[in-house]
Structure 1
């Protein structure tokens, strides 16, 4: 008789978390295992939904005793690498029950649960005239985004979101609960600020707030047929732009979906969006060269800081997609040519968006008090994404993203930004040799048996 050790171990979790445990074959299993990226098929040994840190402790200890591993996850925006490495014998710990955001204006922080999405934190800070270093979407999980680095509309002025963390509360592999900050277990605090999810289950985070109530922000839009002079102007301007401005460029091919605004529905366009942390006059000055190219739409103006969480118009609520990403040391005219050949108006591609994120500024100066990812040493990040309807469209999207990456390979600095890497890559490629060695030493101390499974693991 053959005994399924994994199934037996997973069955031992049944009584935990008030019965919020789902095993393969259970009625709630398929709904519980769905990632935000609907193109990712997660099939763990069990899905467990704790509601507080005490229940997380119970699950971690029970999984370890049963010989299973644990993968914490809030939304599954970046679930592809985790599923790609295999989830046999893994308990998927869905943390959406650990939510909520509370502002403490006296100490200049917002405290959030380990499963909180960005919008509640943005709103909590905004109620006191402040901002947090959120990303480009309101429904991304704060923990995964921040532990992996975090690049938003204030990044060139204020750096990575990871380095705005003031404290993290975690459950370690032995089931103990710890609070780490600059004075308490500074080594582990260093590791989680950019080192990813290999070190424990984050049950709460405290984020520094910044006195930003408004920004000069918006987007400029052109028909994709007019993209070449726009991209050349932006690519020449972006590397030397002052720190107070952070922007992105996208070549977009939008489907005729009814939920899109009419001026975007079914069109191919070039878009530059971003924010200036300065006066309207300063914003006008900085955008003069781009505005001289006569955009069809120009929404830049003074807006509430909380509105920036939807500026990028990222899809919300889940979507099926495949993508590719790279970090570029430079983007000269030859790189513009290569980009346009793969994503310009004459390209035959399935990519819905081919994006360049402006780096530099504070991102290019390693934060001396920062964590494992103290900065990014490229000038631009690329992100190329395609929507998926079936296996053929997924294969085409991956191939087109890879072709764009190959075209830009002469300008690639060899580093990965792991939050944008949605297929398995070498985690080591995100860090220098010294930082990687320190991360691996710390992982061996806090999780010597490799209990935790992460999308980008520190092995």
Structure 2
């Protein structure tokens, strides 16, 4: 798609519309404003807009449209690697991180969440009401980006993808209109947003259905990585018959000797099983017995407050320079478990993960959007650290080589929130809805003004 010739000088139009709430390339703040959470991505956009209200978003969209510029919505920048290396010289990053807030309706068991909010914001607001949400494994991730791209939580096997909890959105479309999208208003736009996310519009708020859990049985089991093969095979057998109430992950981590890490992790290679089991303590404990029989050196599984679940996976709390790759697996037979263990020991690997899905996460939702389920039983995810730009090619080669070990067991599915490779084929995530989604993208954004983390 080709944008129309600019009618106004882009930077001048942005400055006029947003004043100090836009950062241009010659501003002192530019090098800070353009940073993403993934510090391995070095982006040079034309400008960074930092709206503080829906009206500000309307202003920047209209100004960008008049100037023939493109827009890329962002809340935290966790998915920034999707556009690694892209030319952003005509693009304004719409940084929504100042547009934060959560209002809860405990009777309706729902929350309205502003577009720059994180899952930590949501959990803090809903916990006093004995509620929680289909959040991810990291609390500092954007609610909107995560949920509208599918969203795989530790409740996923029982309750499906997080996108299914979105019941409406307030969105600024490419023509600068602020509209409500829901099943009863702009239903085609609502369908497209649930999967198309930032490629469809700049979302200034969403309404989420909440879960009635004040606490949950959750935690982790940890062994030294010398036990990786034994633990992986046992977990593979265990997940083959685990009920949908159990959503867990298995990871092999090679951790550097950092002072901020607890002594039992610093400088070690370990294998970890973590997650949540939506059962009584007695039933959950009985389910875990085959894994506990392997004598983990750390066992934290217990009844915990629901907000604490976001810390169980131990995702990095600070911006991290990394490269990752992911694929879905249809099954995890013994040969695949062996391949995973081999991949986890390859040079350059930081984290190699399998997350158990299937269950409700694999069942399309009636009335759902462009994405409502993901085909496959496991997400395979590999992460390598790239502290400097020269390390990125090697890190990319490492994670791809690791996942190549699992190629014989790949399914056709794609879990979008795990994918941030620029050249990854995202089309299978949308299945038969891809043609419809592309047609709606052209109708809603005929000039291709909006750039999402997951191009359509």
TM-score (ref. length: structure 2): 0.96
The aligned residue for residue 136 of structure 1 is: 137
Contact 2:6 2:69 in 1 (8 A): no
Q: CA deviation at 1:276?
A: 0.7
Q: CA deviation at 1:288?
A: 0.9
Q: Deviations over 1:324-345 (max 9, x none)?
A: 11111111111111112221xx
Q: CA deviation at 1:22?
A: 1.4
The aligned residue for residue 155 of structure 2 is: 154
Map 1:16-415 to 2 at 5 A.
16-343=17-344, 347-415=345-413
Q: CA deviation at 1:405?
A: 1.4
Q: CA deviation at 1:392?
A: 4.2
Q: CA deviation at 1:445?
A: 1.5
The aligned residue for residue 455 of structure 1 is: 453
Q: CA deviation at 1:391?
A: 3.5
Name the SS for the 1:196 alignment partner.
Answer: helix
Q: CA deviation at 1:192?
A: 1.4
CA distance in 2 between counterparts of 1:50 and 1:239 reads 47
Name the SS for the 2:198 alignment partner.
Answer: coil
User: Any stretches of 5+ residues in structure 2 without a counterpart?
Assistant: none
Q: Deviations over 1:173-227 (max 9, x none)?
A: 1111111111111221122122232111000111101111111100000100011
Count of aligned pairs: 451
Q: CA deviation at 1:419?
A: 1.4
Contact 1:132 1:209 in 2 (8 A): yes
- Residues 41, 7 of structure 1: CA spacing in aligned structure 2 closer, same or farther, 3 A cutoff? farther
Q: CA deviation at 1:259?
A: 1.0
Q: CA deviation at 1:18?
A: 3.5
Contact 1:153 1:246 in 2 (8 A): yes
Contact 1:239 1:360 in 2 (8 A): no
Question: Is residue 429 from structure 1 mapped to residue 425 from structure 2 by the alignment?
Answer: no
CA distance in 1 between counterparts of 2:173 and 2:100 reads 20
Question: Is residue 9 from structure 1 mapped to residue 10 from structure 2 by the alignment?
Answer: yes
Name the SS for the 1:15 alignment partner.
Answer: helix
CA distance in 1 between counterparts of 2:394 and 2:347 reads 8
Q: CA deviation at 1:372?
A: 1.3
Q: Deviations over 1:103-153 (max 9, x none)?
A: 111211111110001101011111100111110011001111011000111
Q: CA deviation at 1:24?
A: 1.4
CA distance in 2 between counterparts of 1:102 and 1:220 reads 35
CA distance in 1 between counterparts of 2:83 and 2:128 reads 36
Q: CA deviation at 1:457?
A: 1.4
- Residues 376, 348 of structure 1: CA spacing in aligned structure 2 closer, same or farther, 3 A cutoff? closer
- Residues 199, 215 of structure 1: CA spacing in aligned structure 2 closer, same or farther, 3 A cutoff? same
Name the SS for the 2:111 alignment partner.
Answer: strand
User: Any stretches of 5+ residues in structure 1 without a counterpart?
Assistant: none
Contact 1:198 1:454 in 2 (8 A): yes
Q: CA deviation at 1:390?
A: 2.1
Name the SS for the 1:356 alignment partner.
Answer: strand
Contact 1:47 1:93 in 2 (8 A): yes
Further displaced range: 11-20 or 404-413: 11-20
Contact 2:172 2:202 in 1 (8 A): yes
Name the SS for the 2:272 alignment partner.
Answer: strand
Q: CA deviation at 1:408?
A: 0.8
C-alpha RMSD of matched pairs (Å): 1.6
